[in-house]
Amino acid sequence: MLRRTSFFLCACLLWAVALLPSRAAFAGAAATPSLIPLPAKVQLQPGHLVVDARTPVVLASDDAATRQTAQYLVDLLARTRGLHLAVAGQRSGVPAIVLRRDPRAAVAQEGGYTLKVSARGIEVAARDDAGLFHGTVTLYQLLTPDAGQGAVQVPALAIKDWPRFAWRGLMLDSARHFQSVAEVERLIDQMAQHKLDVLHWHLTDDQGWRIQIKRYPELTRVGAWRTPPHAGQDGEPKRYGGFYTQDEIRRVVAYAAARHVTIVPELDMPGHAQAAVASYPQIGVTGKRPAVSVDSGVNPWLYNVDEDTFTFIDNVLDEVLALFPSTYIHVGGDEAIKDQWQASPAVQAKMRELGITSEDALQGWFIGRIGQYLEKHGRKLIGWDEILEGDNLPAGATVMSWRGIDGAIKAALLGHDVVMSPSPDLYLDHVQSDLPGEYASRYGVESLRDVYGLQVVPGVLDAAQARHVLGVQANAWTEHMPTMAHVEHQVFPRLDALSEVAWSPAGRSDWPGFLARLPAQMARYRAQHVNVADGAFAVAIDTDRNVALATGKATVRLSNQADFGAIHYTLDGSAPTLASPRYQAPLNVTLPTTVRAASFADDGIALAAPRERVLDRASLLSLPGTALANCPGSDFRLLLQPSPDATSTQPVYAVNLFDSCQQFPPTLMEGVGAIRVDAVRLPRNFALAHEQKLVVSRPHATPFGELVVHADRCDGPVLASMALPDPAHSPRQFELDAKLPAQAGEHSLCLVYTAPVDGPLYALGRVSLEAKP
């Protein structure tokens, strides 16, 4: 779960040249405003080159990989800029783009390249195919410095560049929600444009088995499908799922390889195994057949530890190894609660036979056995940091640290390679901002800046230990991302920050420079119809509600999360443009008024869609549930859709699985005599395992519970109690109304649902305070 204006390229580079005392190597962001990630070295030179449809792409190295890279550039430019170049076999006397594989190329690092632009042409050179591709991606960025179409003027420069880390990854979870082959390929293409090189593909979990295994057809006939809560009602499908055939897997692997992205498959074990056990109960511990899970979270189903189960796993791995050439195979290893192993006489007997005294050590033995099998087949095991538990981890195993950085530190000290993937910093299912309009996701906020500021190598590691850090990876868990539109919104533009962290040299981070280069990338997203989030640049419109309620006047403050760009606003409800007033200081307005505002880059391009806030008495007394804080005691918070598989992006509802209690902020209550709540009932499809005991259960006076309103504190006087309707005979969305006693001054309200915790969840859509009826 994840933390952390465009200048025209030519103009900015020439401006930077004028300020330099010499034409020495300069790697600052001002020199390369449209390049993400930032190259290792950039040398500015006088002059420029105009690239247009007459500029040929010449293959100095006439091999299949170079031709493929050239065609990739040609196709991408045609699709995004309308610039149609042609590939030629040799130079014809006009300035050309030359792609060269050269074993003597100046950059020796794997994946590195040189790129030179002069009035005579452009040359990209590298010692290996990956480097040539990466250099061509940089060239693509130079040729798309803005949202323009057709010919482009490129400044003269020389770049020497290479990656900081070998593992520059993104995890896509296709088990919880399924993406089509075309959608996966679309994501891979964006990874390639960010110089990321590992797609960690999460293919099995409790909620679905997504890879065809011919020896075991039930894995996809049964395990690839689940029956959602309220199947067939209110837009929920009667069944949900899908899987990738082996031919489709080969297609995706080849597509990724052509873009120098390696796919590392993940098959979760010994936990997160419910879909597999639903398909073949004999590989489970109890012998019973569960349904494929509809519950996100941590489910109890584990693989057995007998020989037949390992035969099954080995046979599955044989087919997986034939499909994925990756050196690494991810086996999960996380969140395996051991209740079934503890309750099984057969498993306990196996532990005694092995001389193992704890279930955690048994998991270590289990993972070690899988690692040995992979080693025999020339592969390496990688798993989440729980694989460190026990003493059987193969020496060549790699640890992916997700529970913060402690797993990485422990693994490196033990001599294991590690990939940094800490939660919540790099978990992209977290919200990017706290503004209205965020998609279904987790809290807290993991911003663009949080990702950019990530320290990949823990400071406690010495130089030798630090060499075990292979790289860094962000994760797109899809419990709350049912469509690729959701995935894109959560991933972009935070993937830009990740790419710079993963590629650019250590110590070169430059947050203002990164922001200055980002608008050009946002234009590339728009050209490729990527559903990029704009929360970092969207304008927050804030005011003191109670002052406005008391005086009929408001002081309005405008800002955005990144503190970047020029904010322009209107007060008449019209769309803000560059011609609208620019925000310089807080605005004093008289109610009623409508404030609309947007951020703009230096080139005049809007950085985010306009945001609007209506300021009048009714709106100041009405707040969406997503704006209400949790009650004290638990900060867990989700934004949930109306149903788990809904393809819509709005509305979303704030829910705390452990305590259905939220607070309406302190409000001037003069004239308030009633409350109206737009409420919603949601499926309680969350497996909390041992944390179930933390769920707060409250007594209820009516059969299905109430929404109770307390004054000031959650144990304060009861102001109102509204009975909840029968779930079996009422719509999911419903309205609750009650009178409130008169109160003077400012008071907060605590709104608590008392519905039974073994039934559905309830959330607040909107809470409105009103005058006495």
Q: Do the Cβ atoms of 157 and 43 come closer than 8 Å?
A: yes
Is the preceding peptide bond at 727 cis, omega within 30 degrees of 0?
no
Placement of tokens 């305590």 in the chain: 659
Give the C-alpha separation, 1 to 476, whole Å: 8
- Is 500 marked active-site? no
Q: Which two tokens stand for residue 213?
A: 């295994």
How far apart, in Å, are the Cα atoms of 217 and each of 179, 213, 222, 279, 664?
Answer: 20, 6, 8, 9, 53
What is the distance between the alpha carbons of residues 241 and 175, in angstroms, rounded to a whole number? 9
Q: Check if the beta carbon of residue 151 is closer than 8 Å to that of residue 143.
A: no
Three-state SS at 518: helix
Instruction: Find, among 198, 123, 202, 113, the residue nearest to 160 by Cα.
Output: 113
Torsion from C-alpha of 575, 580, 584, 588, nearest 10 degrees: -70
* Active-site residue identified among 134, 177, 272, 468: 272
Cα gap 457→446, rounded to integer Å? 19
Number of other CB atoms surrounding residue 215 within 10 Å:
10
* Phi, psi of 541, rounded to the nearest 5 degrees: -115, 105
- Cα–Cα distances (Å) from 426 to 4, 477, 481, 486, in that order, read 8, 11, 16, 17
Read off the DSSP letter of residue 396.
Answer: T
Q: CA torsion sign, 294 to 298 to 300 to 303? A: positive
In angstroms, what CA-CA distances link 554 with 572, 617, 771?
15, 11, 21
Where are the strands (E) in 76-216, listed by range? 86-88, 96-101, 113-118, 121-126, 152-161, 167-173, 198-205, 208-209
Among 128, 205, 266, 534, the active-site one is 205
Rounded Cα distance between 79 and 75, Å, is 6
CA distance 539 to 709: 32
What is the torsion angle, in degrees rounded to the nearest 10, for the CA atoms of residue 39, residue 66, residue 167 and residue 387? 170
For residues 312 and 216, the answer to whether their CB atoms sit within 8 Å is yes
Residue 739 tokens, joined: 């009178």
Selection from 367, 394, 370, 356 nearest residue 347 by Cα: 356
- Which residues on neighbouring strands pair with residue 674, listed in sequence order? 739, 770
Strand spans (E) along 492-549:
539-542
Return d(Cα 371, Cα 365) in angstroms, integer: 10
In sign, the C-alpha dihedral spanning 136, 138, 139, 140 is positive
Query: Pick from 185, 62, 47: which is nearest to 132 by CA?
Result: 62
Q: Which of 319, 335, 375, 770 is catalytic?
A: 335
d(CA 116, CA 160): 9
User: Is 272 one of the annotated active-site residues of the chain?
Assistant: yes
In order, the DSSP letters of 451-499 are: HHT---S-TTS-HHHHTTEEEEEEEE--TT--SHHHHHHHHTTHHHHHH
> What residues have CB less than 8 Å from 343, skipping those under 6 apart?
none
Q: Catalytic site residue 335?
A: yes
Residue 712 backbone class (left: φ over 0; alpha: ψ -120 to 50; beta: rest): left
Q: Tell me the CA distances in angstroms from 287 to 7, 307, 672, one per residue in order.
A: 64, 15, 60
Q: What angle do CA 103, 108, 110 make, to 5 degrees?
A: 95
Q: Quick one: DSSP state of residue 206? A: T
Catalytic residue positions, numbered: 205, 272, 335
